[in-house]
Amino acid sequence: MASRRIVIDVLKGETVFPPPVWMMRQAGRYLPEYREVRRQAGSFLDLCYNPDLAVEVTLQPIRRFDFDAAILFSDILVVPHALGRELRFEEGRGPLMNPIQADEIPRLNDTTFHVNLSPVYETVRRLRSELPDKTTLLGFCGAPWTVATYMIAGHGTPDQAPARLFAYRHREAFEQLLTHLADCSADYLIRQIEAGADAVQIFDSWSGVLDEPCFKAFCVNPVARMVKRVRAKFPNVPIIGFPKGAGSLYDVYRRETGVTALGLDWSVPHSQARRLQKEGAVQGNLDPLRLVAGGRALEEGVDTILAALGQGPLVFNLGHGITPEAPIRNVEAMLARIRGASRP
């Protein structure tokens, strides 16, 4: 008989205490074993597209910390890369692309999209066979708005002004881009589920830079389209939406996208988080810098979240990805405090 995958139970609305826990970017540079594999891989993209190495780095934090979920090791920008856009990663600069022009959007090449992503699907298949049966396997993708910001600017920017200006000046072309990304990304998630993912997460890392009308048009509507497309094929697979920085618009996002669970960044007040939790599971929302600081700051952060959200469906996580500076001993201390906590 299969072991219980408690992350799935919680995502579907069950309260479990102590709550299950995993961390965004849990396979990453804070781990020496990851840094060693990264050196072997050559480029970051080579690591993402090599199933042997991608499986290994995905499993590393599970072996070390026994997290309740493993998340596929990849990158949100493999989607535009699979659509034929140039992509490279430079040390100290991050991802770099050739900025897309409005007249190039109708010519995005999706004929070999799934062929180009076949190494990712192979990684998912192998992970499901190699992970402990109790461990939930999460697939993921970037949300159309966040992916589009990199395609338009060609790199990360502080406020995504290039994408916002593009959207204001070329609204029809921009919405065409979002629709295309939504459909391709939903199909990408469907293939991950077919390969063995138990649930999926949609990362909208730049939703917080938009005004309310643009948030609805560029964040909510494309994700709602994705959710509908995935649910048509897999109605019972949980979908986590993570609109980082959405603030008061988290409520709109939950209501109108139809996601199963809501990832919360660390700025979300716990009073708001409790209200959101009444509508379904929430995930989060420890400030990653508390994990870097350790000690009292970490203990207070963990205890406050457990006290505020531990009586409802909660997947404990950070409010964004773990940083390379986080000491391993602090991760161990965080897990010990969560797993040893008394019910609030």
The string of pLDDT tens digits covering residues 277-310 is 999 999 999 999 999 999 999 999 999 999 999 9
Res 2: pLDDT: 56
Residue 222, in any domain of the structure: yes
DSSP H or E run through 192: helix 171-195
CATH number of residue 286's parent domain = 3.20.20.210
Q: What are phi and psi of 126, to 5 degrees?
A: -70, -35
Residue 1, in any domain of the structure: no
Answer yes or no: is pLDDT of 224 > 90.
yes
Res 252: pLDDT: 96
User: What is the C-alpha end-to-end distance of the chain, expressed in Å?
Assistant: 32
Residue 273, in any domain of the structure: yes
Answer yes or no: is pLDDT of 248 > 70.
yes
Task: Note whether 163 and 148 are within 8 A (CB).
Answer: yes
Peptide bond into 317 cis (omega under 30): no
Q: What is the mean pLDDT of residues 100-105?
A: 96
Structural domain including 212 reads 6-339
Q: What is the C-alpha to C-alpha distance for residues 12 and 237, in angstroms, rounded to an integer?
A: 9
Residue 344, in any domain of the structure: no
Q: What is the mean pLDDT of residues 309-338?
A: 98
What contacts 229, CB < 8 A, 6 or more positions away?
182, 183, 186, 187, 190
Tokens of 342: 């008394």
What does the mean pLDDT of the chain come to?
96
Q: What is the C-alpha to C-alpha distance for residues 137 and 122, in angstroms, rounded to an integer?
A: 14
Task: Note whether 217 and 177 are within 8 A (CB).
Answer: no
Query: What's the predicted TM-score (pTM) here?
Result: 0.97
Which tens digits make up the pLDDT trace of 38-60? Answer: 999 989 999 999 999 999 999 99
Q: What is the C-alpha to C-alpha distance for residues 162 and 165, in angstroms, rounded to an integer?
A: 5
Q: What is the C-alpha to C-alpha distance for residues 154 and 217, in angstroms, rounded to an integer?
A: 22
Question: What's the total number of domains in the chain?
Answer: 1
Catalytic center residues: 25, 29, 38, 75, 150
Residue 25, in any domain of the structure: yes
Q: What are phi and psi of 73, to 5 degrees?
A: -85, 115
Residue 248, in any domain of the structure: yes
